[in-house]
Structure 1
Amino acid sequence: MNAKTKPQQWHPASWQDKIASQQPMYPDADAVASVVQRLSMLPPLVVSWEVEALQDKIARAQRGEAFLLQGGDCAENFADCNSDQIARKLKILLQVSVVLLHSLKRPVIRVGRMAGQYAKPRSADNETRDGETLPSYRGDLVNRNGFTSADRVPDPELMLEGYHRAALTLNFVRALAEGGFADLHHPEYWNIGFAQSTPFEHAYKQIVKSITDSMDFFEFISGQPVHRTRRIDFFTSHEGLHLLYEQAQTRFIERSGRWYNLSTHYPWIGMRTAQLDGAHVEYFRGIANPISVKVGTGMSNDWLRGLIDTLNPDNTPGRLTLIHRFGAGNIASHLPPMIEAVQAAGATVLWVCDPMHGNTENTSTGVKTRSFDRILSEVEQAFRIHEEMGSYLGGVHFELTGDDVTECIGGARGLTETDLERAYLSQVDPRLNYEQALELAMRIADLRGR
């Protein structure tokens, strides 16, 4: 397939000829068609040259010249589309990226799981509470979280609401990024209240001081400002799960002769929807965005090679990212054969570690949580395995929040199962809170500094 032409026998709706899993069952087909039509007429949320700029950066990361930080909520809620919530998410991503920048000595590509992460796959179609069974909550893009029959009916109008919330989020993030919010000369702009209490306060402040001192020295010697430290490039990502929503924002750009998903810069396919003959792979093979695929213990090498051949047949640099999610107890046995398969195929991919999903567990009372120690262990093992096999771990993928939640156990404060009830706010999966996220970055920095 020529990368500069439309894929053969592909169009934004060709996925509808395939088996599409994890899709909502709307009761009114005419209402759905109306929403998709209206959504397709709205301006794109991102533009093609931003998408291409990100692909160039990912190609650098594939060569070992940069590092990807991808983080944000497991599932965004419409109610969290407000300035404080958005600023806190951006702040923690900035702080983690500064720590990684200092330790890895490479540019950090910042990608937020935001402005579109409104749909979530579910392991069961239905949920039962107190003897009543209703359809599962599939994210604010699909239905509502309240446990009533009316709440759980998929509503196509929510796709339009999701678009508008994503646009508002992106607008505010861009204003912050362009307006000096991320200026490394003034890191106090994005301090969160933890700075006075975290066990890593001193080390973090030393890192920031080291960076600002270096910039001040360079500017003093050269007489020129370090322009790139006064603003950042910030990209968005979400799971391309709800295919009607993704289809409606897919545009053909005459300038490049390619189709782009312009609802986000960097969509990904989850493990549940990565079937070679499925609708999601069909949709993703035709868009020009850099794309990711989650890979784990259930994926064979033949399946993986098939995905690589289908999604990146021309082996284009920056095109394909593999986000591995095995769990701390499985990564040592499962990651090496996967690396060997990719190396044998001569495939150009970016390897990213997602240490969250493989380490999900339930407490004795049935609360879903994740262990900080197991998360850290998987990251440590990932770096070591890639190095030993002549590969490069080029990024990390975290579910985190800038809020003071208690959803993951462990960390420097030693959160236990009993602490979870204090501030467990996630409606889907547990997230690292701001302190645990920074601690994880600091522990990675310590690991890479050895």
Structure 2
Amino acid sequence: MPGSTPGPTDWSPESWRHRPAQQQPEWPSAEDLARAEKRLAGLPPLVFAGEARRLRQQLAEVAAGRAFLLQAGDCSESFEDVVADVIRDKLKVILQMAVVLTYGTGVPVVKVGRMAGQFAKPRSAPLEVVDGEELPVFRGHMVNDDAPNVRARVPDPTRLLEAYHHATATLNLVRAFTKGGFADLSQVHAWNLQFVADSDAGQRYERIAGEIDAALRFMAACGIDLGAEEALHQVDFYTSHEALILPYEEALTRRDSLTGQYYDCSAHMLWVGERTRQPEGAHVEFLRGVQNPLGVKVGPGADPADVVEVCRRLDPGREPGRLTLIARLGASRVEELLPPLVEAVRRAGHPVVWACDPMHGNTLTSADGRKTRRVEDIMAEIRGFFAVHQRLGTWPGGIHVELTGDDVTECLGGAGAIAESDLHLRYTTTCDPRLNGRQAVDLAFQVADLLRAEPDPSRA
């Protein structure tokens, strides 16, 4: 069973404190931080070890080429967006994408949201200029506030507790939606049919939508009661976030009563970012001891030997489902930089999931100073990612995208053909630009076309 090997004997939930820790806030009061940590440590877990083990089993299928990973959600969750409509609409888009990708791959799609914990973000500098004033940088609502004044930017440990309670509310609603009929396959397919009918871009995918429709009609004709089949009425949906603020992650780490292993019960899956994946650093030290499935962001500066070393530390047992490498290399460089990474990890014997993050390597700044991304660049990186894996005979295991269900104008092009002059209309992100719902579903149809061209994944 994935996750059945004993954890490291030279590790404890607090052993990261003896390593250099990047991207940690300068908390003004150690006493206040300690009180928040103690309170968090006494609260119930947000997720359970058995759920994390089930996700590891499903990711093992992805690693073997028998499933596909869709990891999607907000760049940085906002406390203000923990409301029913926002959560529902984001989940709706992810479910729509998953149905399209399932048909494109012919294999199950593992659905993991960047939700219920993505309240903190690494930043490239400690200060930023807002309206001509230099301020401490906004690090996500888990740490400080985005209001443009010095007082709001002071790190506040009570926000760790607020993050926990907002994550609880999000998880409760997600579980209700995914198990209570909202995720019904026929309903999600109807949403996609509406997308095709209402969108000039969507009409390109009428053929795929029609084939899905025909498949559902065939099942009904065979006597399968689509309304009664539990597998068609509800879905497994998992949560993930970057394990950035280590006091929060340590406080929510629990020893599983069944296995004796440690799990970080803040989310089903955690990842370490491009800025914090140092093999000797605190983040890798913390994550090596928890048995959750883990992700590692890999950017254009990644050295194959360093990536293999991170794999060795996080996946010493070479267990399928343990580790997902999330490549964020940029559209112009993915076909140059990805092959040596894939080959080095394969030679080292690590059965990882390879996923493509086509967002972070393709960020640019508009004329009025807003960060944005071109949908065409996003798709170009995905196409390059697929091309590399096809040449190497490996499985392009998934995509990792930042999106929202809201009708924002943050990324250029795509469904709706958003122009640079449109960005100011509905630019609401607290950090990086996200695909809106129409752009995200459009992307899923394009990826489905790529997947349909892939060789049979059972070759693995």
With the shorter chain as reference, the TM-score category is over 0.9
The letter of the residue matching 1:68 is L
Whichever residue aligns with residue 395 of structure 2, its letter is Y
TM-score (norm 2): 0.94
* Alpha carbons 2:95, 2:188 under 8 Å: kept: no
Is structure 2 residue 435 aligned with structure 1 residue 429? Answer: no
Say yes or no: does 1:269 pair with 2:268: no
Shift of the alpha carbon at 1:189?
Answer: 7.5
Name 1:132's counterpart in structure 2. 133
In structure 2, what is the Cα distance between the partners aligned to 1:151 and 1:408?
28
| Residue 443 (structure 1) shift | 1.4
- For normalisation by structure 1, the TM-score amounts to 0.96
Task: Select the residue among 290, 293, 297 that pairs with 2:293.
Answer: 290
Q: Which residue is equivalent to 1:141?
A: 142
The DSSP-based 3-state class of the residue aligned with 1:391 is coil
Q: Using the TM superposition, give the Cα deviation of residue 200 of structure 1 relative to its aligned residue in structure 2, in angstroms.
A: 3.9
Aligned partner of 2:212 in structure 1 is 211
Give the gaps of 5 or more residues in structure 1: none
Instruction: Label 1:390 to 1:344 Cα distance change in 2 as closer, same or farther (>3 A).
Output: same
- C-alpha displacement at 1:377, in angstroms? 0.5
For this pair of structures, how many residues does the alignment match? Answer: 449
> Compared with structure 1, are the counterparts of its residues 294 and 146 closer, same or farther at alpha carbon in structure 2 (3 Å cutoff)?
same
Q: Which residue of 1 aligns with 2:320?
A: 317
Task: Provide the rounded CA distance (Å) in 1 between the counterparts of 2:267 and 2:13.
Answer: 15
Match of 1:94 in 2: 95
Q: CA deviation at 1:28?
A: 0.9
- Paired AA for residue 385 in structure 1: V
Match of 2:359 among 351, 356, 359: 356
Aligned counterpart in structure 1 of residue 392 of structure 2, from 370, 378, 389:
389
Q: Which residue of 1 aligns with 2:31?
A: 30
Q: 1:158 to 1:189 in 2, by over 3 A?
A: farther
Match status 1:172 vs 2:173: yes
- Find the counterpart in structure 2 of residue 346 from structure 1: 349
Correspondence list, 1:359-370, <5 A: 359-370=362-373
Following the alignment from structure 2 to structure 1, what is the Cα–Cα distance between the partners of residues 265 and 203? 42
Helix, strand or coil: the match of 1:168?
Answer: helix
Local SS of the residue matching 1:217: helix
1:377 counterpart letter in structure 2:
A
Structure 1 counterpart of 2:256: 253
Q: Please tell me whether residue 237 in structure 1 is matched to residue 240 in structure 2.
A: yes
- After superposition, the CA RMSD in angstroms is 1.8
> Deviation string for 1:28-84 (max 9, x for gaps)?
111110110001111101111110000000000001000000001100000000110
Alignment of 1:57-206 (within 5 A): 57-187=58-188, 197-202=198-203
1:408-435 Cα offsets, whole Å, 9 max, x none, are: 1111432221111111111200011111
Output the amino acid matched with 2:97. Answer: V
CA contact (8 A) 1:284 1:311 kept: yes
Q: 2 CA distance for matches of 1:365 and 1:119?
A: 26
**Unaligned ranges ≥5, structure 2:** 454-460
8 Å CA contact retained: 1:219, 1:226: no
Partner residue, 1:410: 413
Read off the aligned partner of 1:296 and give its amino acid letter.
Answer: G
One-letter code aligned to 1:269: V
* Cα distance, 1:223–1:371 mapped onto 2, change above 3 Å: closer
Question: 1:335 Cα shift?
Answer: 0.4
Distance 1:201 1:372, change over 3 A: closer
Residue of structure 2 equivalent to 1:440 = 443
Contact 1:181 1:190 in 2 (8 A): no
Contact 2:7–2:290 (8 Å) recurs in 1: no
Paired with 1:367 and 1:130, the residues of 2 have a C-alpha distance of 13
